[in-house]
């Protein structure tokens, strides 16, 4: 196991910067998720760690050793590919044992080890099959087995669960989590599924347009998203963002927006600074912090009902504030909600997030 470090790494394809001046440090034994929308440079970052892509500038270190221009075979890493990349002409035993074969292990020894790993992953009975003769979930576990069959310094995963159906995906996610606890492996895991990242990661790096926007623990990212982008990306459903005009009234912050009633929020120096540049602020409230409230009460949003989806233990109530600005609440109740055309959702002041006109988080009191 080893640490991974990026120092000012940039990767350009022609004029286009897929990864732009990225620096981070992944500690020994950490499980880091690279999270972000399609095309933000996650795979490119991962491939640079693997040595399949060379940075345009910057340095990469694995276990303190510089590997920026080292061939993949000399890095001693393991990688699970999104398309699994199982060799179609080899049976499962040979597929899983391949890394041991190139390391010069004898046939009996490497097949023995492959069987051990396969048994743990419950594919031990399929060792004679070709990859085309097993199911998608079994292929996924085979590619996992091939990565786990030898001791690597770092384990890289590129959306390994994205081709699985919902149930298998949950199962595999649980297994990966268990594996991480068991082995204490250093892992970098690419995904654009925020739930996967929250469930697996010790830390999450949220990427956007080749930059890392926030690199923090899942709970930190959930509680204190650094930008509206992160707030809008993490959470299920993501945080509601309401654009409002802010002003200081009687030493308190007043926010004005269509359908929004809000009692004076505590002023801070940070809010004062933000208001000095622009009075356009963004109010953020997570769906799970919203509940049905009395119309006209303090800290509420009122708007026509757009959708009311019953999810079993909870309901998703969505209001339409016009111009497709929607607000969604996750309401935990067993009662059947009888919602009229116009609904009022309430929240408490402690759950309010504020962002300035550039989308940056305004730290709350005591942050």
Partner 1 sequence: MKLTIPAFVGRIAFSALAALIGAIFALPLLWFLFAPFNARAELGLALPDPWTLNNFVTVFGNSYAVQALWNSFIQAAGGVILVGAAATLAAYALSRSSIPGKSAVTYILLLFSSVVSGSAAMVPIFLIISAAGLMDTHIAVILTFAGGLLPTAMFILRDFIDSIPKSYEESAMVAGASPVQAFFDVALPVIRPGIVVVVVWAFVNIWGSFLIPFILLRSDSNMPASVAIYSFYSEAGTPIVTLLAAYSLIYSLPVIALYLFVSWKFGFRFFGGIKA
Which residues are near ligand ATP by CB under 6 A?
13, 18, 36, 38-44, 192
**Whole-angstrom distance, CA of residue 235 vs CA of residue 288:** 9
117 binds, among Mg ion, ligand ATP, partner 1, none (CB under 5 to 8 A by kind): none
Cα separation, 185 vs 79, whole angstroms: 13
Which one of ligand ATP, Mg ion, partner 1, none is in contact with 355 (Cβ closer than 5 to 8 A by kind)? none
Site string for Mg ion, 34-63 (x = CB under 5 A): ---------x--------------------
Using DSSP's 3-state secondary structure scheme, residue 166 falls into helix
Q: CB of residue 48 vs ligand ATP: minimum separation in angstroms?
A: 10
CA 318 to chain centre: 24
Which region among 61-69, 128-136, 284-292, 334-342 touches partner 1 (by CB under 8 A)?
128-136
Is residue 139 a contact point for partner 1 (CB under 8 A)?
yes
Residue 43-82 contact track with partner 1, rule CB under 8 A, x = bound: -------xxx------------------xxx-xxxxx-x-
Nearest to 41 by CA among 201, 214, 211, 229: 211
Query: Within 10 A of 322 (CB to CB), how many other CB atoms are there?
Result: 10
How far does CA 236 lie from the centroid of its chain?
A: 12
What gap in Å lies between CA 206 and CA 34, rounded to an integer?
6
3-state secondary structure of 89: coil
Cβ nearer to ligand ATP, comparing 38 with 132: 38
Decide the pairing of beta strands 252-256 and 240-249: antiparallel
- The entry of ligand ATP, Mg ion, partner 1, none that residue 275 binds, CB within 5 to 8 Å by partner kind: none
CA distance 12 to 198: 29
- Sequence length of the chain is 367
Smallest distance from partner 1 to CB 188, Å: 13
Binding site for Mg ion (CB under 5 A): 43
Binding site for partner 1 (CB under 8 A): 50-52, 71-73, 75-79, 81, 83-89, 98-99, 101-103, 131-132, 136, 139, 146, 150, 156, 163
């Amino acid at each position: 196991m080893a640490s991974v470090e990026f120092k000012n790494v940039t990767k350009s394809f022609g004029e286009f910067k897929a990864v732009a001046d990225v620096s981070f440090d992944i500690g020994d034994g950490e499980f880091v998720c690279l999270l972000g929308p399609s095309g933000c440079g996650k795979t490119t970052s991962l491939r640079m760690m693997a040595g399949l892509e060379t940075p345009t500038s910057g340095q990469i270190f694995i276990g303190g050793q510089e590997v920026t221009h080292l061939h993949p075979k000399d890095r001693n890493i393991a990688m699970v590919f999104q398309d699994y990349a199982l060799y179609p002409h080899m049976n499962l035993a040979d597929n899983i044992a391949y890394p041991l074969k190139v390391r010069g292990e004898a046939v009996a020894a490497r097949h023995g080890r492959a069987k051990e790993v396969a048994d743990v992953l419950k594919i031990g009975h399929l060792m004679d099959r070709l990859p085309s003769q097993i199911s998608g979930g079994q292929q996924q576990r085979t590619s996992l087995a091939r990565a786990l069959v030898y001791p690597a310094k770092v384990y890289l995963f590129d959306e390994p669960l994205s081709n699985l159906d919902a149930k298998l995906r949950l199962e595999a996610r649980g297994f990966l989590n268990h594996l991480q606890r068991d082995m204490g492996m250093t892992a970098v895991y690419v995904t654009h599924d925020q739930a996967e990242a929250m469930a697996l990661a010790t830390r999450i790096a949220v990427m956007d347009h080749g930059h890392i926007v926030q690199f923090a623990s899942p709970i930190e990212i959930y509680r204190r998203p650094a930008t509206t982008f992160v707030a809008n990306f993490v959470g299920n459903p993501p945080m509601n963002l309401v654009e409002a005009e802010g002003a200081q009234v009687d030493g308190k912050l007043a926010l004005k927006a269509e359908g929004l009633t809000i009692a004076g929020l505590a002023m801070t120096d940070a809010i004062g600074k933000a208001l000095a540049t622009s009075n356009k602020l963004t109010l953020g409230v997570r769906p799970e912090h919203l509940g049905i409230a009395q119309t006209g009460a303090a800290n509420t949003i009122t708007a026509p009902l757009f959708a009311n989806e019953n999810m079993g233990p909870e309901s998703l109530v969505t209001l339409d504030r016009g111009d497709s600005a929607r607000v969604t609440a996750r309401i935990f109740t067993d009662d059947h909600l009888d919602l009229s055309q116009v609904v009022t959702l309430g929240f408490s002041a402690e759950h309010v997030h504020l962002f300035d006109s550039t989308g940056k988080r305004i730290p709350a009191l005591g942050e």
